[in-house]
Amino acid sequence: MEGMVRRDASPEVLQLWRNAECVAFDIDCTITINDSLDALGEFLGVGEQIQKITNAAMDGHLDLETALQQRLDAMNLTTQKIQAFVNSHPVEKRLVPNIRTLIEELQARNVEVFLISGGFRELILPVAKALGVPKSNIFANRFVYMADDNAEEDQVSSQSLRVTTFDPKEPTSRGGGKPEAIRRIREKRPYNTIVMVGDGITDLEAGQETGGADLFIGYGGVVQREAVMKEADWFVDDHAVLAEALPRLKVAMIGSGAWACASMRMVAENARSRRIFYPKVKMWVFEEEHNGEKLTELINRTHENPKYLPGCHFGDNVEACSDIVSVVQDADILIFCTPHQFVHRLCLQIKSHVKPGCFAISLIKGMRVRTDGPQLISTMIQRTLMVDCSVLMGANIANQIGPGSLCEATIASKNVEHARLLKLLFHTEYFYIDIISDVEGAEMSGTLKNVVALAAGFADGSGYLDNCKAVILREGLKEMRELSIRLYPSVRESTFFEACGVADLIATCSGGRNHKVAMEFAKRGGSDSFDTLEAELLHGQKLQGTLTSHEVQSCLKIKGWEADFPLLKVVDLIVNGVYEPADIARFRDLNLFPIVKSPTAEALAASEDAAMLDSIQRRVSILEVRGLV
């Protein structure tokens, strides 16, 4: 008979198990180490008698209703006896090995767990609570009570009730009850695949009747019944086998800069500790040399990126690779974290190699400008690769996250299940994640704050005080919100109060790379170009704010909105060399003066600030060369 037992799952069975949307477990001898009524009978001194009745029922030699009533009669139960048993048998000592891990693995994958038992609800509730299974997901028998005849009439209470029988309305009180319970589940929730796991004949029936389970897995870790072993679609002695067979999501990181490496620390940590993810994470690295050695080899040897974020150790489960196709081709989750100007080309490179059903998340702050207006990076990824793409935005300064400093971020996603899985991938005790559905609002906030950070850097580098910076942050937040809502009317006001909004703005305007370079640009009076400062100060990292500023202005020009966003407009004019960095404090006034090629004498005489108009006249040639006038 042993040769007939299906201990190895067939490909078809394995696929059903991995695609299960609902798993129903028997309790006695499947989740707990014994039959609860047997244990209760032993506790009351009639264990041998009760066990004989149980075995006869589980082996199919005695109908369930008769077996239930015979056991109740033999035990002469009262509420006091039941409570005493529960108190003396803590749940942790009743569970079979690895059942908690298996149920946690299923719940992590959003698989609904039900308990279907011929045992009694009063004995099952503590087990369900310990395993995180809601009461509404329990199908079990119920005791029927009456007052104890020995109690005085005026002393009758819940402590003096006697069990007389069971409630026949519960499906598990009779033969065919477990298939009926599964049919009831299907009536309420349209699961495509339901799996039944159990040790007895009644569990086997659940997978054999019409409308029952799509797959029956026999469990023999406590007791092995011949009929169950012979007829089960898959038979296991350890729940760890089922847990190991569950699918694990493979994760790929596209990018290896400072922010990619800082976020990789959280990703790698969670991939190691959460069994829902495959432990090894691949990282695409643009190959270059550092200290005479290939960067990929350095990362794989030291488990950190010594060029872009030295000291941020992300563990030995990260594999750096310069071949982007091999990184993405079997991944279930793609994390994009590269300079935004390179993303479209990378997407075109990998579009024919992404795994069907995979999904993505963008950590990138920027936009792509087309003739009809801006395109968010997440939208571009989604349309090019035909995958769902969420975003992660927040006050995320890489060199502060790397050491484990407290931080928070926002995951914005239109897919609830993807958002839940992504939170599991990024959330740690020091990196807190909130979830919202406003993808456009979150991504626009993350994009536009880099331009505002330039303004804050110009102010700090020019020696202005905190009051001036406060004006810039307030106006910046206002313009971020206004432009986002104009472009995407679905954007929510509340998004700007999330980590992706005001928190990211504050952090970036204090310690981000855009603020740092803009401040130095102002200190040097604009004498050095942004390209020079990028190379000098960022050591290979890209300065996103200046490019984003140009993209934003292109968008505003397409829409005819330039005058409505004075701070964003003046920042771009400073970046283009039209105004001095110190002019940021006059962004409102500068927005009122039109840029003219040759101011007339009348205009100069009428102006209260002739020097400023003269400055405009002297710098207009720069605009002409760049096609801005």
Look over the chain and give the mean of its residue pLDDT values, rounded to a whole number.
89
Strand partners, 252: 282, 334
pLDDT in tens, 129-181: 999 999 999 999 998 888 655 544 444 345 568 888 888 888 988 888 999 99
Task: Give the C-alpha separation, 231 to 30, whole Å.
Answer: 17
pLDDT in tens, 25-60: 999 999 999 888 888 888 999 988 988 888 887 777
What's the 3-state SS for 396-411? CCHHHHCCCCCEEEEE
Q: What is the CATH number of the domain that holds 487?
A: 1.10.1040.10
- Proportion of the chain in helix, strand, coil states, percent, rounded to 5: 55, 15, 30
In the chain, what percentage of residues exceed pLDDT 70? 91
Tokens matching residue 608 = 């209260």
Give me the DSSP letters along 488-514: -TT--GGGGGSIIIIIHHHHHHHHSHH
Instruction: Write down which residue in 212, 245, 278 finishes a domain.
Output: 245
Give me the DSSP letters along 606-624: H-S-HHHHHHHHHHHHHHH
> What crossing angle do the helices spanning 439-461 and 566-575 adopt, rounded to 10°?
60
Q: Are residues 38 and 49 in the same domain?
A: yes
Instruction: Write down which residue in 213, 245, 277 finishes a domain.
Output: 245
456: how many CB neighbours lie within 10 A of its CB? 29
Q: Are residues 69 and 218 in the same domain?
A: yes
Q: Are residues 257 and 406 in the same domain?
A: yes
Q: Are residues 47 and 80 in the same domain?
A: yes
> What crossing angle do the helices spanning 36-43 and 47-58 adopt, rounded to 10°?
160
Q: What is the CATH number of the domain that holds 325?
A: 3.40.50.720
Domain of residue 617: give its range: 593-629
Q: Are residues 219 and 254 in the same domain?
A: no
Residue 214 counted as domain residue: yes
Q: Are residues 159 and 70 in the same domain?
A: yes
Q: Are residues 188 and 294 in the same domain?
A: no
- The total number of structural domains that make up the chain: 4
Contact 94, 33 (CB under 8 A): yes
Q: What is the pLDDT of residue 596?
A: 42
Instruction: Write down which residue in 437, 457, 481 finishes a domain.
Output: 437
- Exposed / middle / buried, residue 586 (Cβ in 10 Å: 0-12, 13-18, 19+): middle
pLDDT at 599 over 70: no
Q: Are residues 312 and 231 in the same domain?
A: no
Q: Are residues 279 and 296 in the same domain?
A: yes
pLDDT in tens, 473-488: 999 999 999 999 999 9
Query: What's the longest Cα–Cα distance across the chain?
Result: 114
Q: Are residues 315 and 263 in the same domain?
A: yes
Our answer to whether residue 569 is catalytic in this structure is no
Q: What is the pLDDT of residue 184?
A: 94
pLDDT at 517 over 90: yes
* Residue among 198, 231, 3 at smallest CA distance from 99: 198
Q: Are residues 238 and 255 in the same domain?
A: no
Q: Which of 449, 516, 559, 597 does the annotation list as catalytic?
A: 449
Task: Give the C-alpha separation, 309 to 402, whole Å.
Answer: 8
Residue 442 counted as domain residue: no
Q: Are residues 240 and 279 in the same domain?
A: no
- Among 85-94, 400-409, 427-436, 571-580, the minimum mean pLDDT is found in 400-409
Contact 227, 60 (CB under 8 A): yes
State the pairing for strand pair 367-370/373-376. Answer: antiparallel
C-alpha angle 467-471-476 in degrees, rounded to nearest 5: 145
Residue 344 counted as domain residue: yes
Confidence grade of residue 512 (pLDDT, cut at 50, 70, 90): confident
